[in-house]
């Protein structure tokens, strides 16, 4: 069986074949999406892609893109993105996904929301029949609201864990200096209802349920690539 690291590369590089010269590209975050960023850098260097500009979904991705001389722009000049390629923590048969174990869900959702095409790249371990089966739903919260939001999420049935960082286990801070509460729910019967409920509580900035947003999911499996699309 091909190892997972190799499958991540295959999924990401397949998605990059959808990029054409002149496009505005959203660059995702994580150990799968980084392979798409690197492939874009290589194709630009080789002259096989030209006049690409990109919007990164995190400071980490911005740094990677800069190191590869991928020109970065902002929404001020490029409010619409042609294609975004990003990873996921879970994807279901409806192309609904959970994202955010890498901590970048807020910028990722902002970028995805203005993308004409939003391509998820993942190895087969991310495929689920019901969201929540394996991954928690990350909820980005302003630090001041940690307790009331945590209590509220528990009242929705979640086991809530504040995400921690570093050897001293301090609260993880996002690029926007918020915290993340990981919500372990098990298989979610109605992700749309849950997403609406999470939004009700003041202090919630964003959640990791990306519903009806992905246009494509590319799964890399030991038997080859599987491309599911709603285009």
**Can you tell me whether residue 216 is helix, strand or coil?**
strand
Q: Using DSSP bridges, classify how beta strands 164-165 and 115-123 pair: parallel, antiparallel or unpaired.
A: unpaired
Of 29 and 178, the one with the shorter C-beta distance to ligand 5RP is 29
Position 41 contacts ligand 5RP (CB under 6 A) = no
Position 28 contacts ligand 5RP (CB under 6 A) = yes
**Can you tell me whether residue 42 is helix, strand or coil?**
helix
Burial tier of 171 (Cβ tally within 10 Å: 0-12, 13-18, 19+): middle
Q: Which of 85, 104, 181, 211 binds ligand 5RP (CB under 6 A)?
A: 104
Contact string (CB under 6 A) for ligand 5RP, positions 78-97, x = contact: --------xxxx--------
- Site residue total, ligand 5RP (CB under 6 A): 18
Q: How far is the CB of 28 from ligand 5RP (least distance, A)?
A: 6
Which of these ranges, 44-52, 100-108, 151-159, 175-183, lies near ligand 5RP under the rule CB under 6 A?
100-108
Position 31 contacts ligand 5RP (CB under 6 A) = yes
Spatial CA neighbour of 97 closest among 197, 215, 10: 215
Q: Which of 13, 64, 90, 108 is catalytic?
A: 108
Q: Which of 102, 132, 136, 150 binds ligand 5RP (CB under 6 A)?
A: 102
Position 216 contacts ligand 5RP (CB under 6 A) = no
**Can you tell me whether residue 147 is helix, strand or coil?**
helix
Q: Tell me, yes or no, if 108 is annotated catalytic.
A: yes
Spatial CA neighbour of 88 closest among 158, 135, 56: 135
Q: Rounded to whole angstroms, what are the CA distances from 146 to 99, 157, 188?
A: 20, 17, 23
Whether the Cβ atoms of residue 179 and residue 144 lie closer than 8 Å to each other? no
Of 82 and 99, the one with the shorter C-beta distance to ligand 5RP is 99
Whether the Cβ atoms of residue 36 and residue 117 lie closer than 8 Å to each other? no
Q: How far is the CB of 106 from ligand 5RP (least distance, A)?
A: 9
Summarize as ranges the residues that interact with ligand 5RP (CB under 6 A). Answer: 28-33, 86-89, 99-105, 108
């Amino acid at each position: 069986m091909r190892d997972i690291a190799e499958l991540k590369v295959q999924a990401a590089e397949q998605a990059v074949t959808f990029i054409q010269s002149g496009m505005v590209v959203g660059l995702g975050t994580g150990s799968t999406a980084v392979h798409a960023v690197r492939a874009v850098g290589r194709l630009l260097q080789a002259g096989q892609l030209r006049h690409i500009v990109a919007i990164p979904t995190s400071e980490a991705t911005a740094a990677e893109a800069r190191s590869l001389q991928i020109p970065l722009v902002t929404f001020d000049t490029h409010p619409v993105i042609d294609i975004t390629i990003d990873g996921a923590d879970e994807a279901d048969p409806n192309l609904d996904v959970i994202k955010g174990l890498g901590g970048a869900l807020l910028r990722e959702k902002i970028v995805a929301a203005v993308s004409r095409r939003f391509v998820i790249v993942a190895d087969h371990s991310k495929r689920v029949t019901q969201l929540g089966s394996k991954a928690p739903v990350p909820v980005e919260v302003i630090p001041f609201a940690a307790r009331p939001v945590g209590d509220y999420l528990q009242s929705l049935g979640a086991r809530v864990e504040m995400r921690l960082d570093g050897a001293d286990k301090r609260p993880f801070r996002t690029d926007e200096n918020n915290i993340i509460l990981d919500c372990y729910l098990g298989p979610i019967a109605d992700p749309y209802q849950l997403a609406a409920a999470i939004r009700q509580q003041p202090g919630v900035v964003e959640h990791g349920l990306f519903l009806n947003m992905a246009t494509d999911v590319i799964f890399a499996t030991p038997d080859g690539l599987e491309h599911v699309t709603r285009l």
